[in-house]
Structure 1
Amino acid sequence: MTINEIQDEIIEEFADIDDWMDRYAYIIDMGNTLPPMPEEYKTPQYIIEGCQSRAWLHADITPEGLIHFTADSDAIIVKGIISMLLKVLNDHSPAEIADADLYFIDKIGLAENLSPTRSNGLAALVKQMKLYAIAYKAKLENEGK
């Protein structure tokens, strides 16, 4: 599936949930499905700066040239947001991730329904994911792949 197809799927899932308390509960449920992050990545090197709670993000490139993210947070709502971002961006090419317009965030009303500090954390997380993508894209280009 493309990044936009996955975003459209998430938008559709949220279209059926009118109440924001129910949407928060759904986001928290998504966070509960987040695979555990290896402890070796829960270090200051992988922490997302600008996040109110502690959140970590790590990226690897697969042999197929796709980026695979692992992430975690000590806050349940942040875990849910991370889970959505991973669902949308995981296992895509660096170019696809770097160029992605993450319109689902606005379409489901996420940014406007988060506290300012959570919104800053969301922006910091997206920025870091895109920075990983740009770095891996440059690395692959330098290797001639």
Structure 2
Amino acid sequence: MTLPADAQMALDVFTGQQGWEQRARLLMQWGERLPTLTDDEKTDEHLVHGCESKVWLVGDKTAGHWQFRASSDARVIRGLVAVLLARVNGLSAPELRGVDLADWFDQLGLSRQLSASRSNGLNAVLQKMHQIAAVSD
């Protein structure tokens, strides 16, 4: 499967970093680029359950392809969610179901940043994406 343009850019940028500290700094920068959600969007309906940090997720489908927006109260999580969004935005629901979260973060060289709780939280974000896509399809 061909990667979306943002995902390819993320892959190129993250794999071009030499050490973990450079990747961590880059992760924070990606998190700062997340589009902000309005207070009206930060509701229980959009809250991802299963995350230790608060993460809100909103999805819209245009011409069969999903665009997700998210926000978090934690800087590292914002960065991780930002690179997850780079991987999934623009995908159809079947393509979204085929995303391998562990493989994606491994390719980026960010697996080390995924503690068990962060990994569970990101899996919860991906599951919420699946739920949003399933309701709409």
Normalising by structure 1, we get a TM-score of 0.80
Report the alpha carbon displacement of residue 6 of structure 1 after superposing the two structures with TM. Answer: 4.7
Q: Which residue of the partner structure matches residue 30 of structure 1? A: 30
Contact 1:98/1:133 (<8 A) preserved: no
Q: Tell me which amino acid in the other structure corresponds to 1:122.
A: L
Q: Which residue of the partner structure matches residue 84 of structure 2? A: 85
Contact 1:66/1:93 (<8 A) preserved: yes
Report the alpha carbon displacement of residue 75 of structure 1 after superposing the two structures with TM. Answer: 0.7
- Give yes or no for the alignment of 1:95 onto 2:94: yes
Within 2, Cα distance between the matches of 1:57 and 1:26?
Answer: 22
Q: Which residue of the partner structure matches residue 108 of structure 1? A: 108
Q: Tell me which amino acid in the other structure corresponds to 1:72.
A: S
Contact 1:49/1:124 (<8 A) preserved: yes
Q: Which residue of the partner structure matches residue 135 of structure 2? A: 135
Report the alpha carbon displacement of residue 33 of structure 1 after superposing the two structures with TM. Answer: 0.8
Give the aligned length. Answer: 136
**Deviation per CA, 1:107-126, whole angstroms, max 9, x where unpaired?**
22323322322121111112
Identical residues among aligned pairs (%): 32
Within 1, Cα distance between the matches of 2:11 and 2:35?
Answer: 22
Within 2, Cα distance between the matches of 1:66 and 1:13?
Answer: 25
Classify 1:28/1:12 alpha carbon distance in 2 versus 1 (closer, same or farther; 3 Å): same
Q: Which residue of the partner structure matches residue 74 of structure 1? A: 73
Q: Which residue of the partner structure matches residue 12 of structure 2? A: 12
Contact 1:3/1:100 (<8 A) preserved: no
Within 2, Cα distance between the matches of 1:104 and 1:81?
Answer: 11
Report the alpha carbon displacement of residue 4 of structure 1 after superposing the two structures with TM. Answer: 5.9
Q: Tell me which amino acid in the other structure corresponds to 1:37.
A: L
Within 1, Cα distance between the matches of 2:68 and 2:84?
Answer: 10
Q: Tell me which amino acid in the other structure corresponds to 2:87.
A: V
Alignment RMSD (CA, Å): 2.2
Classify 1:19/1:9 alpha carbon distance in 2 versus 1 (closer, same or farther; 3 Å): same
Q: Which residue of the partner structure matches residue 126 of structure 1? A: 126
Q: Which has the larger radius of gyration?
A: 1
Unaligned residue ranges in structure 1 (runs of 5+)? 140-145
**Deviation per CA, 1:84-143, whole angstroms, max 9, x where unpaired?**
12122113222221223343212223233223221211111122222323333xx3xxxx
Q: Tell me which amino acid in the other structure corresponds to 1:111.
A: S
